[in-house]
Amino acid sequence: MRVALCLMSAALIAAPAAARTADPARLSRDVRTLAAPDFGGRAPGTPGETKTLDWLIARFRALGLSPAGPDGQWLQKVPLVHTRIADGATMHIGDTPLAQGREIAVTTVRAAPAVSIADSPMVFVGYGVSAPEAKWDDFKDVDVRGKTVVFLVNDPDFEAQPGDEAKGRFGDRRMTYYGRWTYKFEEAARRGAAAALIVHDTGGAGYPWSTVNASNGENYDIVRGADDPRVPLQGWIEHDTADRLFAAAGLDLARLRVAARQASFRPVEMKTTFSAAADVAVERVESANVLAKIPGTKRADESVMFAAHWDAYGEGPADASGRTLRPGANDDALGTAGVVELARLFKAGPAPERSLVFALWTGEERGLLGSEYYATHPVLPLVKTVANLTLDILQTAGPAKDVVLVGAGQSSLDALLGDAARAQGRTITPETFSERGLFYRADHFSVVRRGVPSLLIMALGGASDLTTGGRAAGQKWLDDYMACYHKTCDTWDARWDLRGAAADVDLFHTIGTRLAKVGEWPAWSEGSEFRGVREASAAERR
């Protein structure tokens, strides 16, 4: 009898711990709901958004969480501007007309009914990097106000060779923020440019021209104040088109690429002009982030954030089978389900000393807009946000022997992920394609820019070493998924094996449990471009 009682006691002790692990069946059920046809592809500003928000609020409320939005609400309203360059737009470099979609792909995020640029002088600015910490300035003292600036994509050392001054200065093949198109357009806006154009290269961008052209002249942005202007026209020039246009201006783009890898590079006047005339359809859209929390018992103003994006692409052009709905089952209904599951796990456990925030963003597919709005209108102070842990696309092929780390070397959170993985008997694999800049392409980046250390679990970082089939099976899964990325075939599948996805959710539960205790502050690594931002507010975390 005593043995039986001891065994029963052990079972009772073990039961709560066993219950506090992510449930693959719950993840699957939630994804099936969010990716269902009646959710309409979860596009911002559509009936599908309303249904999505209502469902998420109901889930958090049922779990016993508290609203974490402004004024004690579940939602943080996110005002958006939706623009589309009308058909019939004309663009020229010199006297040469450019075909929208084929030779050039441009959009605007300004809420103006038309764009008119007449004979704007063109300036090639290399990679367009201004990085004092790297002793690098591509602009030098050249004034580009009212001009059209032309950039190369990625970083100065993306193609650097031994002897080039850029070699190793920007992480070698690992993209830094200076390599992202968002940075380049922002830098053009800060300097008062009339337009910003990036020369497209598939290798440097990480995606083909078809991805750039998919916007079809459409764009979104958050509503910004007059003191935060965007460049009037922004976009890309197709690779071969750029070669021809530079040659017509008497310039050798191949030689300029080499010159741009030297710190001594100076902007080059192209001795030609850019002109554009386009009507713009402008629409104001009100969307929303969903914010829930478990308040901290000791320092409620210090918070650990778990996040994903609820939005997908809604309706789009018909595929070969006539389907138009892009349900975003993995991207990112699965990540959203993971955040809801984390909320369940933490609510079932002991009350945290720090607040736990569960954020589900709008507008990620339109440019990280919901998270950017939160970052510019934070409900809890970012200087006291301990970390952001983001889920965006998880593999659905079963358990893995490793976890792919996106953005390796950025912060001390890497070590915490390593500890959590080892506790599961797993290892860490650095992302395969660091030059694609995945670390800068998910929602956590909005708070990263404001100094918040962050981790991203994203299956696109490389092939997982699956328990069954190894790396080859992981690569097959990745290839198959990429064939459906942002397409109508990203649908829920009853055959998914979500044990690996659940294990990834558990990694964040383990890390979050540790960070929920007062005292530990993850830090950016020496050399990270975000270290200085965080250090500037160090006194507020003492």
pLDDT in tens, 425-462: 999 999 987 777 889 889 999 999 999 999 999 999 99
Q: What is the pLDDT of residues 234-248, one digit of tens each?
A: 999 999 999 999 999
Q: What is the pLDDT of residues 165-190, one digit of tens each?
A: 999 888 777 788 899 899 999 999 99
- CB contact set of 347 (below 8 Å; sequence gap of 6+): 63, 64, 65, 294
Name the pTM for this structure. 0.86
Q: Is pLDDT above 90 for 507? A: yes
CATH assignment, 82-282:
3.50.30.30
Confidence at 274, pLDDT banded by 50, 70, 90: very high
Judge if the upstream peptide bond of residue 332 is cis by omega within 30 degrees of 0: yes
Query: What is the reported pLDDT for 358?
Result: 98
Among the ranges given (31-40, 180-189, 433-442, 496-505), the one the predictor scored with the smallest mean pLDDT? 433-442
- For residue 500, give the nearest of 433, 429, 426 by alpha carbon: 426
Dist. CA 127–CA 179, nearest whole Å? 8
**pLDDT-above-90 percentage for the chain:** 82
Query: Domain boundaries in the chain?
Result: 28-64+295-533, 82-282
Q: Is pLDDT above 90 for 541? A: yes
Q: What is the chain's mean pLDDT, rounded?
A: 92
Alpha carbons within 13 A on the beta-carbon side of 299: 16
Using the 8-state DSSP alphabet, how is residue 408 labeled? T
Average pLDDT over residues 293-309: 98
**Contacts made by residues 263-266, CB under 8 angstroms, sequence distance 24+:** 263/135, 263/136, 263/165, 263/166, 264/165, 265/126, 265/138, 266/140, 266/142
Average pLDDT over residues 285-299: 97
The 3-state secondary structure of 346-384, one letter per residue: HHHCCCCCEEEEEEEECCHHHCCHHHHHHHHCCCCCHHH
Query: What is the reported pLDDT for 3?
Result: 37
Q: How far is CA 520 from CA 137, 183, 492, in A?
A: 36, 31, 38
Alpha carbons within 13 A on the beta-carbon side of 49: 20
Q: How far is CA 20 from CA 17, 402, 430, in A?
A: 5, 21, 28
Confidence at 304, pLDDT banded by 50, 70, 90: very high
Confidence at 19, pLDDT banded by 50, 70, 90: very low
Query: What is the reported pLDDT for 2?
Result: 37
The residues with which 314 forms a beta bridge, in sequence order, are 326
Average pLDDT over residues 388-401: 97
Query: What is the reported pLDDT for 4?
Result: 38
The strand pair at 130-131 and 136-137 is best described as antiparallel
Among the ranges given (47-56, 178-187, 205-214, 509-518), the one the predictor scored with the smallest mean pLDDT? 205-214
Q: What is the pLDDT of residues 101-120, one digit of tens each?
A: 999 999 999 999 999 999 99
Q: Is pLDDT above 90 for 465? A: yes
Correct CATH for 28-64+295-533 of 2.60.40.10, 3.40.50.800, 3.40.50.11540, 3.40.630.10: 3.40.630.10
- Joined together, the tokens standing for residue 496 give 């998914």
Average pLDDT over residues 125-129: 97
Q: How many residues does the structure list for the chain?
A: 542
Average pLDDT over residues 122-145: 95
The residues with which 196 forms a beta bridge, in sequence order, are 149, 234
Cβ(535)–Cβ(371) under 8 Å? Answer: no
Q: Is pLDDT above 70 for 12? A: no
More confident residue, 127 or 216: 127
Q: What is the largest CA-CA distance in the chain?
A: 95
Cβ(311)–Cβ(486) under 8 Å? Answer: no
